Structure 1
Amino acid sequence: SVHIVNEILDGGPIVIQAATFVKENDTLETLKERILKYEHKIYPQAVKWFCENRLKIEGRKVKLNLEDLKLENIVNNEALISPGLEKEFIIN
């Protein structure tokens, strides 16, 4: 998860999240690698939206201005990304 920082550790409203599946043959290392792969995509995506002034904080929620955005939520059937990634951040 990428969230807005506030005075509570990991307590700010969420900007974007990635949830990956645990596979039957996963080890701790393979799961950590897959999680890190998605973290490296959602963080720059959130920063881009912030720099483009697309994020609006309303209480405990972050609203994303979706105007002219095309987002993908499922990436390689490994993860669910919400609200999704722009094409340039899609993992191949």
Structure 2
Amino acid sequence: MARAITNEGHDAVHVCDIDMLSASDHAVWDEALRRAAVIVTKDEDFIVIGQSKPDTPAPAVVWLRIGNCSRKVLLDAFLGIFPTVVEMLEAGEKIIEVR
């Protein structure tokens, strides 16, 4: 996913690229906040973290709810709406659900 986002002209890193593959969700959240990055995830845990901290700064989260599918299907679905996701992020949306 990070490579696909980079290929679309945006900065992106995967947690493994920054030695956070085994980091807790809270640590990833904090790192995204520090970097002013957007979290792209299939994991509802990041939504729950945001709901548990309603009065604190939060990174934007793009929640992929496409279900069990191949990597290609996931990438094709996401990239098909990627321009809309970018527009929503630029407009200040903090949680974007992709179905």
Same fold (TM over 0.5): no
TM-score, normalised to structure 1, is 0.34
Higher relative contact order (CA 8 A, sep 6+): 1
TM-score by length of 2: 0.32
Structure holding more strand per residue: 1
